[in-house]
Amino acid sequence: MRALGIAATGMLAQQLNVDVISNNIANMTTTAFKRQRAEFQDLLYQDMERAGAASSDAGTIVPAGIQIGVGVKTASVYRITDQGGLEATGNTYDMAIQGEGYFRILLPSGEEAYTRAGSFQLSPSGEIVTQDGFTVIPSVTIPQDATSVTINPSGEVEVQIDGQVNLQTVGQLDLAIFFNEGGLQPLGDSLYKESTASGAPTIGVPGSTGFGTLRQGYLEMSNVNAVQEITQLISAQRAYEMCSKTITAADEMMSVTNQLGR
């Protein structure tokens, strides 16, 4: 019976759906996490009677035909890049991007990665780095005698030097935007990598056309909506149970058929 195979594809699809939802819920408090959604497509159809086929010598045709579906498949698991809420932390080196853009990060391999998690700190030499010690590009070094650090919405880093009246500019942060940011390759640790699907990055100053602005002392929160995820989880669980019941029903029907043949 086709029902066994069809229901099995449905159970596999809903199992993947639950995996994706579980990952979203697990990252509800992950800085700048972007929730994911599983998208499904129907599989090929078996034509028992093709629509448009001749039904008589008089030229009449079959208006609809008979097509039997054979199940479901996963089309993609895509990332929803909506802006997360901003939370004040009071930390000098915490930065949130309000709008479009990603911070540029230099990996130990020499490759460039991208992130929206702006929970930065200082290295022993005074460079602004990620929590893993990776340098933020372009490199900005804070002088040891700086008494305060100000990062304006345009990414300009200014410091107050002890004994000086005027602020001193020590660097300029920039952002990268992508034509298809959903196509970025996730590396873990809130980092992403350029891919063929994302396209090459466009680099620009925060606040310029198409680029977001920076908020010092804030972090972007996860864009996961707890109520929405729980609702989708219940729906996926119900769909999984229905597919399981379909298999049970098909098995009982086959059992009855076998008994009739004895």
Instruction: Say what the pLDDT of residue 261 is.
Output: 60
Statement to judge: residues 141 and 173 lie in one domain: yes
Query: How much is the pLDDT for 262?
Result: 63
Longest CA–CA separation in the chain, Å: 101
Say which DSSP state 81 is in.
-
55: Cβ contacts below 8 Å, ≥ 6 apart: 61, 62
Q: Are residues 120 and 180 in the same domain?
A: yes
Are 201 and 101 in contact by the 8 Å Cβ rule? The answer is no
Same domain membership, residue 103 and residue 165? yes
pLDDT along the chain (262 residues), means of 10: 88 96 96 95 80 76 80 92 93 95 96 95 94 94 91 94 85 95 92 94 95 96 96 95 92 81 62
Is residue 175 located within the same domain as residue 101? yes
CA distances from 241 to 13, 14, 15, 87 (A): 12, 10, 11, 39
Q: Which residues pair with 160 in a beta bridge?
A: 148
pLDDT at site 216: 96
User: Quick one: 33 and 59 in the same domain?
Assistant: yes
From residue 102, alpha-carbon distances to 46, 92, 143, 213 in Å are 46, 19, 25, 11
**Same domain membership, residue 214 and residue 94:** yes
Q: Are residues 146 and 248 in the same domain?
A: no
> Are 166 and 200 contained in the same domain?
yes
203 and 254 together in one domain: no
**One domain, residues 100 and 214:** yes
Domain extent, residue 111, equals: 86-220
Give pLDDT, residue 229.
Answer: 96
Number of domains in the chain: 2
Report yes or no: 176 and 97 within 8 Å, Cβ to Cβ.
no
Distance CA 229, CA 220 (A): 19
Question: Are 100 and 194 in a shared domain?
Answer: yes
Residues 193 and 246 both lie in one domain: no
